[in-house]
Amino acid sequence: MFLQQLINGLAQGSLFALIAISFSLVWGLLRMVNFAMGEVYMLGAYAGWLVVMYATPNLGVALVAGFVIGWIVGWFIEKVAFKAMRGVPHIASLVCTIGFSFFLKELASALFRAETKSMPSYYSDTAFTFAEANISYLQIIMVVIAVVMMVLLQILFYRTKIGLAVRAVALDYRTASLMGMKVDRVTSLAFSLSGALAGFVGVLAATYYNAVNASMGFVAGLKGFTAAVFGGITSIPGAILGGYLLGAIENLSVKYMSSGYRDLVSYFILITFLLFRPNGILGKKAKL
């Protein structure tokens, strides 16, 4: 039982970890949060669902659709909430993305109606059983994807020219732009990429939970942010670590309290870390 909870926790943790990476991509660059990240994830899930229901039952295509939708929405949010608002205090941008979060959620619920759509299962067969705990193929796939994503992003950041530009901008926005770097393009890219990642995870989550609905984004976004803060929002490995820890803790805590209180654990972790260790477990010391 314990082992099963742990395995479920790790699978779910992969989802948290991937959303957390989305947050830390933007945070690392601009010290900003896209509050609508959860809603991008939700839109990705709908995109995946639409593909599977009406086009092709191929999960790969659905994942690509989530990725593309997320990219577009992330790109658009950057244009409106950040680029158009240069010179306005950061917090106004945050409020603007809060507006986006509400807008997208209500839009989805108006377009697709309030009821939960059911997403067919993929790879849900048990891959192997280990001390009475079942591990499905999907769970393995999710963990692999999360780890691969982390590695890819690390390579992107530390081994490529784009990554160098991104890190330069993250280090010092003004200087980077004075030195003629295309700061605008770099920020736009980071936003789109983080959106794409969120959209992609949305499809994954829809497949894992077999469900899509308009309000799935809010909790996912908040949990993803919690995971990012937990592990250290300034670093991608931190975000991954935070995601897995959060998934494990949440699933194991169900043993000790009624399931209605399950989300409380995450929110307590969020508040505690914000207050006492805002740089998270791994994060470098950074000014808030």
Binding site residues, other proteins, CB under 8 A: 32-33, 35, 80-81, 84-85, 87-92, 94-96, 98-107, 109-110, 218, 222, 225-226, 229, 258, 260-261, 263-264, 267-268, 270-271, 274-275, 278, 288
CB of 89 to other proteins, least distance (A): 7
CB of 92 to other proteins, least distance (A): 4
Residue closer to other proteins, measured from CB, 187 or 207 = 187
Residue closer to other proteins, measured from CB, 129 or 258 = 258
Q: d(Cα 279, Cα 288) in Å, to the nearest integer?
A: 9
CB of 263 to other proteins, least distance (A): 6
Q: d(Cα 15, Cα 239) in Å, to the nearest integer?
A: 11
Sole residue written with tokens 């994807």: 145
Residue closer to other proteins, measured from CB, 4 or 188 = 188
**SS (HEC) of 67-94:** HHHHHHHHHHHHHHHHHCCCCCCHHHHH
Residue closer to other proteins, measured from CB, 102 or 157 = 102
CB of 275 to other proteins, least distance (A): 6
